Amino acid sequence: MQRSFDDLGVPLHEVTFCVLDLETTGAAPPQSAITEIGAVKLRGGECLGTFQTLVNPGTGIPPEISFLTGITEAMVQPAPWVEAVLPSFLEFLGPAVIVGHNVRFDLRFLQAALAAAGHPALPNRWVDTCALARRLVRDEVPNCQLGMLAERLRLAHRPTHRALADALATGDLLHALLERAGNLGVLGLDDLFELPTVRAHPQMGKLRLTNGLPRRPGVYLFRGAGGRVLYVGKATNLRARVRSYFGGDDRRKVSQLLRETQAIDHVVCPGTLEAAVLEVRLIHRHQPPFNHRSKLWSRYVYLKVTLDEAYPRLSVVRSARAGDGCIYIGPLGSAGVARQVADAIESALPVRRCTARVPARPVAGACAPAQLGVAACPCAGTVSVAEYGRIVDRLVHGLTGDPSVLLEPLRERMAALAAAERYEEAADMRDRAAALARALGRQRQLDALRRAGRMEIEVLSTPAGGGVAQARRLVLTAGRLTGAADQLNLLEGAGDLSDEGGGPDRPLPRHLVDELSCVASWLETEAASVRVVHCEGPWSLPVPRLPRFEPAKGGARTH
């Protein structure tokens, strides 16, 4: 597939522009029609040719239009119809970028004429010099009309309300504006298309900080006073992504970020996986104040099944102890998420919920869940260790083998509540089931990655300019990007991020979950372009795909 101009980042001196101007009988088609077409083709500051013709509009020309343009009905009577003019104009235009002053006006007439003549719509990209002037010189002129700009900027050609003369003046204006835009780092065609959307705020001058950014995948760092890292992000096109912060984003935090930014650094990466991993590691290291995602790993928690006691229960804990014989789900994003997962499990199985020490003999005051009959708590004195052990066996089997043991009772309960028109309770049960399914699904993904050990993969990628796809090799060790990635400084910021848990059978350390989640997500997304070359351990998911309980996007939260 041919890549678009803004994909390629064509330097402006290599771009062919076709500056267009039309004269018409009125304000809008189809009530009005074209009376004259003028165009000039430019590249690298040189004129490659001009196009000019009168057009018979097939209708009268209002006196005020003739007075303004000097074009009379007698002048256009012998001129060709627009249908006869279009083929030669389209040949002159070719694939050039269209330029005009208030160019939407001209394009509206031109597209209408093409449609009436049975031609397809123009696919050409376009640039409006009026919008560029408002962004670049609005403070220097009373208005941005072409005549005023030609006078104040001392353009070589002056507009006369004739098509070719106005096109030549617009071409001069384009060159004058491109010179000014260059001071803001507008060096490629993609920069030029984006410039009219850039906000005219006090940080406009900081666009120069983006001058050295390439159009390649990688990670960018906004730095403040003293080189402090304010924000870390990743991008498939570093230049386009960073410059977009100066666009129409009015979020308060973005404005504050730009005010504090004094430099913008970047690291080019071979692909999106390397960029995603490096982003996570740098966020962990620098804890940038404007990042939210991936810097809260120290707050992650685990849901623990306390298999080291006679009557195991679920407990939310901040750290996992290797070798204690317990089962850990997580790390999970917050205590609230962990509690929701626990509620789902406790809704599926009558797991003990009380936290008090198990009494040697039954007591009169059993806990509330036991009194309600929703939990087999030992405080009620109605369940033996052996009977409770069978409940725990089902729980362990559901967490490590067959999730339907836990998810199917939730589905049945949700359906029963909906059938009884208890929709709010059904929605709450659905949310619990969804939280449990998400937690178990991620646990499966990350455990599978860690069990795979050292894995070499090849990924096919297409060069930025198109052409034959190329393969690059990546090395994953227990789910972490290693090997050749070290040579690309991708381990910068790793700090003390060693897997101190040790081994895939131990609980996953909190500081590794974001990185392994990036790898797992990337492998799932890029499965069609990835080939496993070598795998030290098993690489498979041990249970069937888990069901999804989330409602459809945009749907109401009902049954």
Catalytic residues: 161
Residues 53/41, Cβ–Cβ less than 8 Å: no
Alpha carbon distances (Å) from 232 to 131, 254, 456: 32, 13, 28
**Can you read off the two tokens belonging to residue 272?**
């999106």
Helix (H, G, I), strand (E, B), or coil: what is residue 115? helix
Burial class of residue 556, CB neighbours in 10 A (0-12, 13-18, 19+): exposed
Helix (H, G, I), strand (E, B), or coil: what is residue 178? helix
Q: For residue 23, give the nearest of 51, 63, 53, 60 by alpha carbon.
A: 53
Q: How far apart are CA 444 and CA 421, in angstroms?
A: 35
| Full strand arrangement of the beta sheet holding 480-482 | 480-482, 470-477, 454-461, 530-535
Q: 24: which strand partners?
A: 34
Residues 353/367, Cβ–Cβ less than 8 Å: yes
With a CB cutoff of 8 Å and minimum separation 6, the contacts of 435 are 337, 340, 341, 344
C-alpha 390: how far from its chain's center?
47
Alpha carbon distances (Å) from 128 to 135, 142, 380: 11, 19, 79
Q: How far apart are CA 414 and CA 420, in angstroms?
A: 10
Residues 169/158, Cβ–Cβ less than 8 Å: yes
